Structure 1
């Protein structure tokens, strides 16, 4: 495969990944909506404050659930058409958001339309890149692509702040929708599966015996083991990282933007470095290492994060490393799916496993919110996350030999 073409594919996928991070801009939207509610201005937002996060929560759930259906379309029709469908859904959602303050319509626009659109696009960008590179680089290229998603908050927060301040809340979404659509449709044009992928020498073994379909993997105990570990690994990070990030932003005051940048870089670095490491020592071994350090970090945080005299630097470091470890999940699990179950039905197979991310984030974040509301502390959230991660470590370790065996088969 021509080297220059595969790197063009990787670059286009990375650009798309950066564009898809609109879901991470919710904190900016929420702040503007909350301000409007408090001002009680005519024609402004009139929501229940307790429902402020509902569009985001729905978007996360819809995103993860859409991955199943979108993955099947990606497997049949390829990445370009799948991304175009996603782009139309996201842009439609943004246009609706621009012209309404209705709670219900924001659930539909940001939650359903944008959430499903992200699911369509996200389901297509990873598999096409994996197909252009050798199996020995699967972790690396997957990490690079998904790192863009994690880094998107670096530019989206200041971009929307600028748009809101200079063009108003409604116009901001129109301008962003137009720019987003142009970038997405141009970048997606370059995404194309390599010809005769399954017949290439380096993938012939994979196509011969490891192309499981959705029904096949749902009959295996391994799928459910991986789903539980993904549920905990992603959910444990998501249940505390939003709270601790807010602490960093408040502690840094006017310099909060730099804290957001550092945390985002840590998140992206975890995705890339875990991919590189998994290519060298194996997926499950890498997963166990990151889960172990995340567990230690949770227990340490449980006893120091609420101290009155805790340094903002320490809080920032904790938030960065939690994000670093959390980010590894988004790289390791798709590569496990590829190694164990092949590329032919990768979109659908990873889509069903990815529901663990959405459900884990939704359920454990809600539990964390309740614990914080009842105790006014993050202590119990960190403890719960730590104990759940111990369980995930035990489950992941129990399945390490079989998964590693599958990976070695591809490396022969």
Structure 2
């Protein structure tokens, strides 16, 4: 078998392509938040808006990326997304005001989706028997990349400065990520089954399903609670009296479990109920948020951050194969993109933006903010158990419309 036809080698290229967008989205803002606050003289609320723009960009592009897969080869979409993410990071290195950082955040989030959705779709088709494990590996790379790169970003920021760190990161992404995008394609012998598939669900049909609406709410609430710690880790660490080289451990621990949890939960989702896995990790994260503001020891706070990272990573990993089971692989790109709009458009507001406003109004009272996020995770743990998968009684499965465009309900008994 030719080297470039080997599925494991292609998976490795996919991991390389998705590594740097993940580092830019999950690691770069957390490390640079304090630097931007000092450079541009902005408050916590303005820094909190940063993640809102990242998520708004991602939410805007997820559905589009899913649609484009039906018309354009995935490797071209991945190449475009990877190159744009790299160039955006070069741009933010020259930022002279916070508005420039917001522009970077939106474009970083937008083109990140062009890498993320095609990679998930390609490799679920390529490894149909291990969707959870493969999704976990990709999400481990995507989320765990920040655990690798955050200490490096911090080291370069302290040693070389802000501009050098941004430019170095951008060029590193082009050399090791963008360069392999065209190698990510379905092997020749699997092209017939791995080619573009036309979806069987329209937009109207999708949003009419209760399972979609429940997943959408789960992503809005748990996504808000999880992503907020990326931005709040630095300000919470500073309030506890730690410097940048110390409080980075909070973000690093979050990201390590964010990454490892994606792999472990992905593997478990191939064997056990996906809803129960998510319920358990959501409850663990809820408890962690309740306890975190009552402790000041760095290692203990970092330990609690691990549970929030675990829940955040599981949300991404377990939701993807769950969407595939409920709506069908042919609908995965578009439906997952629609679910992701909850994370993109609402999680950014409910999480980083709202928490920044509350912190400014309450003189940095993290007890209120963390208690709010604990409630978000608690609600999510209830909602996720109501999502039905194929095989359950009376479950509506993906199906086409009739000649008049009406939704045909096909019921499947267990």
Q: Shorter-chain TM-score: which interval?
A: 0.7 to 0.9
Alpha-carbon distance in 1 for matches of 2:114, 2:35: 28
Note the alpha carbon deviations across 1:309-335, whole angstroms, 9 max, x for none: 643332111111111122110111111
**Do structure 1's residue 77 and structure 2's residue 72 form an aligned pair?**
yes
1:336 aligned residue: 322
Aligned pairs for 1:46-125 within 5 A? 51-108=46-103, 110-125=104-119
- Report the CA distance shift for 1:391/1:50 in structure 2 as closer, same or farther (over 3 A): closer
Note the alpha carbon deviations across 1:63-103, whole angstroms, 9 max, x for none: 22211112211233232110122133223323433434144
Contact 1:284–1:404 at 8 Å: present in 2 too?
Answer: no
SS of the residue 1:75 aligns to: coil
Alpha-carbon distance in 1 for matches of 2:66, 2:191: 18
**Do structure 1's residue 185 and structure 2's residue 178 form an aligned pair?**
yes
Alpha-carbon distance in 2 for matches of 1:118, 1:57: 15
**Do structure 1's residue 368 and structure 2's residue 355 form an aligned pair?**
yes
Contact 2:31–2:248 at 8 Å: present in 1 too?
Answer: no
Alpha-carbon distance in 2 for matches of 1:14, 1:379: 38
Contact 1:237–1:323 at 8 Å: present in 2 too?
Answer: yes
Decide which of 323, 333, 358 is 1:347's aligned counterpart: 333
Note the alpha carbon deviations across 1:166-220, whole angstroms, 9 max, x for none: 65543443343233122223221221134575965xx9xxx89x95344432232
Alpha-carbon distance in 1 for matches of 2:234, 2:34: 15
Alpha-carbon distance in 2 for matches of 1:298, 1:107: 28
Alpha-carbon distance in 2 for matches of 1:240, 1:29: 14
Contact 1:79–1:193 at 8 Å: present in 2 too?
Answer: no
2:33 aligned residue: 30
Superposed CA RMSD: 3.5
What's the offset of the Cα at 1:10? Answer: 1.8
- Report the CA distance shift for 1:398/1:116 in structure 2 as closer, same or farther (over 3 A): closer
1:42 aligned residue: none
- Report the CA distance shift for 1:316/1:104 in structure 2 as closer, same or farther (over 3 A): closer
**Do structure 1's residue 13 and structure 2's residue 14 form an aligned pair?**
yes
Note the alpha carbon deviations across 1:131-176, whole angstroms, 9 max, x for none: 11133x1111101101112222233334334544565543443343
SS of the residue 1:345 aligns to: helix
* More deviation, 183-192/248-257: 248-257
What's the offset of the Cα at 1:29? Answer: 3.0
Note the alpha carbon deviations across 1:263-315, whole angstroms, 9 max, x for none: 3211112211111111111222222222232333344x2xxx334x6433321
Decide which of 267, 283, 291 is 1:292's aligned counterpart: 283
In structure 2, runs of 5+ residues without a counterpart are 396-413
Alpha-carbon distance in 2 for matches of 1:388, 1:37: 32
* More deviation, 320-329/344-353: 344-353
Alpha-carbon distance in 2 for matches of 1:171, 1:74: 36
What TM-score, normalized to structure 1? 0.82
Alpha-carbon distance in 2 for matches of 1:244, 1:404: 41
Contact 1:240–1:381 at 8 Å: present in 2 too?
Answer: no
- Report the CA distance shift for 1:144/1:215 in structure 2 as closer, same or farther (over 3 A): same
2:150 aligned residue: 157
Contact 2:31–2:153 at 8 Å: present in 1 too?
Answer: yes
In structure 1, runs of 5+ residues without a counterpart are 39-46, 407-411
What TM-score, normalized to structure 2? 0.81
Alpha-carbon distance in 1 for matches of 2:97, 2:369: 33
What's the offset of the Cα at 1:34? Answer: 3.0
